[in-house]
């Protein structure tokens, strides 16, 4: 049977674009891709990239204050949201253009419209056009979801944060995950009165307890009104803004409410149920180790599979798919020991096991240090850095590394290489320190803080 294309990709985010252009450019496959919105997906258009640029913008008040301590005649400055937003969207337009050019340069045919799967080898576009393909790859990502709360129509999600006409004077952020915590730091840094509430007893569930506690304390120290074990009962629109009542009976009068309480895979209305593609309880597409669904010709990568919802992981999954299907080299995407950064303020970087997870597997040594780095100490700032190594007592292999510090993401990327390679505590000890740096503390930790 002949097909219009060797591969049809649904979704123009990082994973889908990488799979499409590598399949076309490196194997000569005939490839098409459909995207109903903007190329680049969540990460480029409404996630990692614009968020990180907002983090940079929000750090300047701290930089200006520190500059005075270093002898600079630094004057307070006002932040112009309209200027920043204009430049932000110009940058996103530029990046989207790069994605389009990469696809075009690889010979990928692009369809700027929604698509769904009509049968195991057929995709139907929104305009009714039907296209056949030997293989179909689902890479439609995920989206934020809002809970059922009275007045929820007055709230926004992270998607809309980049589209605000003006910066609010006050904001209530609901949620305790990395998106909520990152935006709490951003808004606080931009001078917005920021309250963050979450129904659990601590932020960043699933991460190392001691490390996330350190981040929470530091956020409060910077001015975020962080409240735990509380949730929203209702949101009411008033003449002056929004009135939010919580489960403690407190009322918050704010200009804006942002929810970051969960995301859901974009598997709706893709025609998957009728084909026998198995979906999980959250709508995630169930795949095997090679990203193949229950329908042999249909594969899925990225957040739609709800495996490890990170952009670099989606890219790796897309590459493994191409190796498996188009290069005859069966390749499983590696989801073990993924380094990651949470761009809270202060920043957090982590790789490997938390102390709690490691202790559940066997005896461990825990090395920690907390100190005021040179830059902050000279400026008279009080915030400290926190670093932690979790080590197996039996093998002395480093099982986890957790850092809370400026540029923690940069440090954890390099620590991740060592830990991925199976480095032991002795390997860290044998490494000569780079002085004076914060990261040198990772190779000068001599005695365990505790053993368990």
pLDDT digits (tens, 9 = 90+) for 191-245: 999 999 999 999 999 999 999 999 999 999 999 999 999 999 999 999 999 999 9
Confidence at 384, pLDDT banded by 50, 70, 90: very high
Pairing of strands 232-238, 241-246: antiparallel
Contact 42, 160 (CB under 8 A): no
- Domains of the chain, start order: 5-143+264-326 (3.50.50.60), 152-261 (3.50.50.60), 340-451 (3.30.390.30)
In this prediction, residues 10-26 reach a mean pLDDT of 98
Q: What confidence tens digit (pLDDT) does each residue in 418-429 have? A: 999 999 999 999
> What is the DSSP-derived secondary structure letter of residue 13?
B
| Distance of alpha carbon 141 from alpha carbon 263, whole angstroms | 10
Total Cβ atoms within 10 A of residue 426: 12
Residue 95, CA distances (Å) to 38, 102, 137, 371 in order? 10, 11, 23, 39
Q: Which residues contact 49 (CB under 8 A, 6 or more apart)?
A: 40, 43, 91, 92, 95
The H or E element containing residue 45 is helix 41-46
Strand partners of residue 135: 7
Map residue 378 onto helix, strand or coil.
helix
For residue 76, is pLDDT > 90?
A: no
Contact 107, 268 (CB under 8 A): no
Strand partners of residue 241: 238
- Convert 322-359 to b/e letters by CB count within 10 Å (16 or more is b): bbbbbeeeebebeeebbbbbbbbbbbbbbbbbbbeebb
Contact 139, 15 (CB under 8 A): yes
Please give the backbone phi and psi of residue 80, each rounded to the nearest 5 degrees, phi first.
-105, 100
Catalogue the E-assigned strands of 120-240: 122-125, 130-138, 142-144, 170-174, 193-197, 225-227, 232-238
In this prediction, residues 321-344 reach a mean pLDDT of 98
Residue 233 CA, distance from chain mean position? 28
Total Cβ atoms within 10 A of residue 245: 16
Give the closest residue to 299 by CA, choosing from 281, 314, 282, 309. Answer: 314
Confidence at 1, pLDDT banded by 50, 70, 90: confident
pLDDT of residue 291: 98
For the chain, give the percent of residues with pLDDT over 70.
100
Q: Which residues contact 44 (CB under 8 A, 6 or more apart)?
A: 13, 14, 38, 92, 95, 96, 99
The residues that are catalytic are: 435
Confidence at 361, pLDDT banded by 50, 70, 90: very high
For residue 136, is pLDDT > 90?
A: yes
Q: Which residues contact 417 (CB under 8 A, 6 or more apart)?
A: none
| Distance of alpha carbon 393 from alpha carbon 397, whole angstroms | 8
Confidence at 58, pLDDT banded by 50, 70, 90: very high
Tokens encoding 429: 């000890």
Give the closest residue to 223 by CA, choosing from 175, 255, 187. Answer: 187
Q: ∠ CA 180-186-190 to the nearest 5 degrees?
A: 145
Q: What confidence tens digit (pLDDT) does each residue in 257-276 have? A: 999 999 999 999 999 999 99
Q: In what order do the strands lie in the sheet with 364-371?
A: 340-342, 348-352, 398-404, 385-392, 364-371, 450-451
The H or E element containing residue 408 is helix 408-420
- Convert 384-411 to b/e letters by CB count within 10 Å (16 or more is b): bbbbbbbbbeeeebbbbbbbbbbebbeb
Total Cβ atoms within 10 A of residue 138: 28
Q: ∠ CA 131-44-83 to the nearest 5 degrees?
A: 130
Residue located via tokens 């600079």: 72
H-type helices in 107-173, by residue range? Answer: 158-161
In this prediction, residues 431-446 reach a mean pLDDT of 97
Catalogue the E-assigned strands of 239-397: 241-246, 251-254, 256-259, 263-265, 298-300, 340-342, 348-352, 364-371, 385-392
Confidence at 42, pLDDT banded by 50, 70, 90: very high
* Omega prior to 436 cis, within 30 of 0: yes
């Amino acid at each position: 049977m002949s097909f219009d294309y060797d591969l049809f990709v649904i979704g123009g985010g990082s994973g889908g674009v990488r799979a499409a252009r590598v399949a076309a450019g490196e194997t000569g496959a005939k490839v098409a891709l459909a995207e109903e919105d903007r190329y680049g997906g969540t990460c480029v258009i409404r996630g990692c990239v614009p968020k990180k640029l907002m983090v940079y913008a929000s750090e300047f008040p701290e930089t200006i204050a520190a500059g005075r301590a270093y002898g600079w005649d630094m004057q307070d400055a006002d932040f112009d949201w309209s200027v920043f937003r204009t430049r932000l969207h110009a940058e996103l337009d530029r990046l989207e253009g790069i994605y389009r050019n990469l696809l075009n340069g690889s010979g990928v045919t692009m369809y700027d419209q929604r698509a769904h799967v009509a049968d195991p080898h057929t995709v139907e576009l929104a305009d009714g056009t039907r296209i056949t393909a030997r293989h179909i790859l689902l890479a439609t990502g995920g989206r934020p979801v809002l809970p059922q709360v009275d007045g929820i129509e007055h709230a926004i999600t992270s998607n809309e944060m980049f589209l605000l006409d003006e910066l609010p004077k006050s904001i209530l952020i609901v949620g305790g995950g990395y998106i909520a915590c990152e935006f709490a730091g951003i808004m606080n840094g931009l001078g917005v009165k920021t309250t963050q509430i979450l129904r659990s007893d601590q932020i960043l569930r699933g991460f190392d307890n001691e490390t996330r506690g350190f981040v929470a304390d530091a956020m409060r120290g910077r001015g975020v009104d962080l409240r735990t074990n509380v949730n929203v009962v209702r949101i009411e629109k008033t003449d002056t803004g929004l009135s939010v009542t919580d489960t403690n009976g407190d009322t918050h009068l704010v200009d804006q409410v942002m929810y970051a309480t969960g995301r859901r895979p974009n598997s709706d209305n893709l025609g998957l149920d009728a084909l026998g593609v198995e979906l999980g309880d959250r709508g995630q597409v169930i795949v095997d180790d090679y990203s193949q669904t229950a329908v042999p010709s249909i594969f899925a990568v990225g957040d739609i599979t709800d495996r490890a919802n990170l952009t670099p992981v989606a890219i790796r999954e897309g590459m493994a798919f191409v190796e498996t299907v188009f290069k005859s080299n069966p390749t499983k995407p590696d989801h073990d020991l993924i380094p990651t950064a949470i761009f809270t303020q202060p920043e957090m970087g982590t790789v490997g096991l938390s102390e709690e997870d490691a202790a559940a597997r066997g005896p461990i040594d825990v090395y920690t240090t907390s100190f005021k780095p040179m830059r902050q100490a000279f400026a008279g700032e009080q915030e400290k850095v926190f670093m932690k190594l979790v080590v197996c007592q039996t093998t002395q292999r480093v099982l986890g590394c957790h850092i809370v510090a400026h540029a923690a993401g940069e440090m954890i990327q390099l620590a991740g290489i060592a830990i991925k390679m199976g480095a032991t505590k002795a390997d860290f000890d044998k490494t000569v320190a780079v002085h004076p740096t914060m990261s040198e503390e990772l190779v000068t930790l001599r005695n365990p803080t505790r053993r368990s």
